[in-house]
Amino acid sequence: MVPQLALTVLGMTGLLALAGELFEWVRWIGVAYLVYLGIQTWRAPGIDLTQIKPEPRSARSIFWRGFLVSSSNPKTLLFYGAFFPQFISPDADVVPQLLLLSASFLTIALTFDSCWALAADRLRGLLASRGLMRNRLTGSFYFAAAVGLASVKRG
């Protein structure tokens, strides 16, 4: 998450210098992408996760694999590019705003990811064998995020 935030800060600084209109396009591209992900997830066949036996791995291996997958995920950059511009004032210095947004986002993400992990552990038995229900729930979250992003007014 940190590498993507750094790239976003660097990229947004340049983009803000170009044009404010570009951010409306980026936001709507983000909305379209979230709708696309929602449709793909909603329509995906459900998989019974109770039938899958994961291979044992060390904590270090899990950390590095997660870090590499997360760092190389282009969706994260698209998300930041669509999400952050609505909170940036073009009249003020951009870099401090983006750094504050990044720090706030990391804090909130860590808190919510921890809560999600704890909730997922509790719901694992309920959702593991109900793949279609799990996909529909996830697709609904994507749709809700798209509606939220579409309804935000800048300025």
Helix axes 74-83, 21-43, angle to 10 degrees: 130
- Please indicate, yes or no, if residue 71 is contained in any of the structural domains: yes
Structural domain span for residue 142: 2-47+60-151
| pLDDT over threshold 80, residue 41 | yes
- Please indicate, yes or no, if residue 130 is contained in any of the structural domains: yes
Q: Taking the model in full, what pTM does it have?
A: 0.51
Predicted confidence (pLDDT) per residue in 141-155, tens digit:
999 999 998 887 765
Higher pLDDT, residue 44 or 77? 44
- Please indicate, yes or no, if residue 10 is contained in any of the structural domains: yes
Predicted confidence (pLDDT) per residue in 81-136, tens digit:
778 888 888 888 888 988 898 899 889 999 999 999 999 888 877 777 787 888 88
- CA separation, residue 37 to residues 4, 69, 82, 121, 131 (Å): 20, 18, 15, 24, 16
Predicted confidence (pLDDT) per residue in 110-124, tens digit:
999 999 999 988 887
Taking the CA atoms of 49, 55, 60 and 63 in sequence, report the sign of the dihedral they define.
negative
Number of domains in the chain: 1
Which two three-digit tokens encode residue 107?
């804090």
| Nearest in space to 8 (alpha carbons), one of 90, 109, 83 | 83
Please give the Cα distance from 7 to 24 (Å, whole number): 20
Please give the Cα distance from 146 to 65 (Å, whole number): 29
